Amino acid sequence: MIKNDRDTLLYLLKRYGGQRPLARELGCDHKALKYWMDKHGITVEDYQDFDKELQEDKYEDKYEDGFEDIEYYKKINGKYSYEKIGDIYIFQAPFGEFDIDEKTLDRILENYCQMGMTKRETALDVGLSIREVYVVLKAYGINHDSVPFREEVKEEKSVAELVDVALDRKEMLYYRLLEQKEYKRAIEENKKYKERDYIAKKHTDRIIENLGKIQYRPPRTHIKRDNNKTLKTLVVNISDWHKGKLVIGEEILGGNSYNKVVFEKRVDKYLNEAIKMIEMHKPEKILILNYGDGPDSPEANVYPGQRDNQDILYEEQVIGYVNDLTRFALTIHDYHPDIHYAGVPGNHSKGDINWDVLANKMLECLLKDYKKITVDSRNIQYKIHNIYDFYLVQFHGNQMTPKIDTPVSRSQALGIIGLERLPARMTYLCQGHLHHLATEGPSYRRILLPSMVGGDDLSSNLMQTGARPAQVMFVFEKGQGLVDEHTVFFDVE
């Protein structure tokens, strides 16, 4: 309506008191309104026909009990009046004449006097502008302490009857107040996430614009599948790489060390094992599934002292991680060109940007010229992959209870399966996050994938759980489902 009708936009600007208040009511950027104002040739002078202070929320907070002490309103005091014709109240104001019915006046009295709502909240509830509500309150002589009934009602009913009516309203008022608070909370949450999405998109777009283009290279060695053998799909899982994390072996149980040099060696070893699996099984397709927490956190704000446990910092961490992902995908492409990559967000992102999502979008941009490599960078918690009518549910795992094979964990797992309407015996729930290899499930299978890091100060010294550094690959076979789980351990040669 705003885009197509100048009069509608002008009316709303007048009603809500300007560009910014209207933008707040519509939940949009005020610059979008300015764009359409310019398109329709609307200027501030076209709608700003009353004192500017009345438009602002801060004014209402400061002068909620009345406007008598403000010089401007002293000057025009006495200009507000009303006339009653039947059940219609006609109000006169400096900006013109308007009318309301008895029900609307009852609602204003109820909201303002009994519920204690502000003028702006009352205006939104009854469908008037804030200045119209101000005129009604001023002309009718209403303040927060007034009896919440029209003069006619007060004359018709006794004090006891008025009390009974007020008491009867209480339950309804409770639910209205509750609904109002929930609405406000929802608006605030929506505003917060809109701001976060805007900031994240702005940073993402800026980084992607500066990425260098990768020149396409054909596969080096294409291993052909034996058409007489059963169809297979190789799933290469990437779980909790934590690029940039530093673990000093002497300081933890088990002596595991992790740094940028160790990281590179482990990625190379995993790649070599993936190539062996391709040569052995000759799959028709490869899924590379990334379970998140790839960068350790460029801002180092996940837990106190995280910066002291990193050896790659800031943007170098996420850009280096994207380079590693790109090299990983293209090395596998050298041996098998038909690849689908999918990533889900981890929990090592506490600010406005989820670094896993950003990395996945950067990877998608870098590999866009590779027609047989598809990248799913959507920012969603769960991704479901249909592999020969078996289902692999991919998620990071921070939403689940950390203890597995308990009534709570089984209930959560079955809840996901039921919500997605999947056959339990043909479903595999796969996650990272907990850094160690484990399984659960009597009918379904929930598989906890290990991390590239292995044991660190948190898992070894605080949680006192063992965690060997490892990654896992799956082989799915048509008609059989998951037939092979190949674990690559990094703490052995």
Q: Is 452 helix (H, G, I), strand (E, B) or coil?
A: coil
Q: Which one is predicted more confidently, 171 or 342?
A: 342
Cα–Cα dist 147/300, whole Å: 57
The residue to which tokens 């078996």 are assigned: 390
pLDDT at 60: 40
Ranking 187-196, 270-279, 446-455, 468-477 by mean pLDDT, the lowest is 187-196
For residues 297 and 350, is the Cβ–Cβ distance under 8 A? Answer: yes
Q: Which residue has the tokens 């590379």?
A: 288
> What's the CA gap between 92 and 107, in Å, rounded?
20
| pLDDT tens profile 28-60 | 777 788 888 888 888 876 766 444 434 433 334
Does residue 193 register a pLDDT over 80?
Answer: no
Provide mean pLDDT across the span 417-434. 93
Domain ranges of the chain: 6-182, 217-489
**By the 8 A CB rule, do 362 and 211 touch?**
yes
Segment 242-248 shows an average pLDDT of 92
Evaluate if residue 72 carries a pLDDT over 50: no
pTM over 0.75: no
Q: How confident is the model at residue 353 (pLDDT cuts 50, 70, 90)?
A: confident
Give yes or no for residue 77 having a pLDDT over 60.
no
User: What is the total residue count of the chain?
Assistant: 493
pLDDT of residue 76: 44
What local confidence, expressed as pLDDT, does residue 172 receive? 60
Q: Burial level of 371, CB count in 10 A (0-12/13-18/19+)?
A: exposed
Collapse the DSSP code of 183 into the 3-class scheme (helix H, G, I; strand E, B; otherwise coil) and give the result.
helix
Please, what is the angle between helix 30-40 and helix 19-26, to 10°? 120
Cα torsion 255, 259, 262, 267: sign: positive
Percent of the chain predicted with pLDDT > 90: 37
Helices 30-40/6-16 angle, 10° precision: 130
* Superfamily classification of domain 217-489: Metallo-dependent phosphatases (3.60.21.10)
200 pLDDT above the threshold of 70: no
Q: Kindly provide the residue ranges of all beta strands, DSSP E only, lying in 315-432, ordered along the sequence.
A: 339-343, 373-376, 383-387, 390-395, 427-431
Question: The tokens 């002078």 sit on which residue?
Answer: 45
**Rounded to whole angstroms, how far apart are CA atoms 401 and 128?**
49
Q: What is the pLDDT of residue 231?
A: 94
Contacts of 314 (CB under 8 A, 6+ apart): 298, 299
- Residue 178 has, within 13 A of its CA and on its CB side, a CA count of 6
* SS3 call for 412: helix
- Name the more confident of 383 and 136: 383
Neighbours of 229 (CB within 10 A): 11
What are 33's two structure tokens? 């309104």
Which two tokens mark 478?
A: 């048509």
Please, which pLDDT band fits residue 396 given cuts at 50, 70 and 90? very high
**Under a CB-based contact definition with an 8 Å cutoff, are residues 379 and 290 in contact?**
no
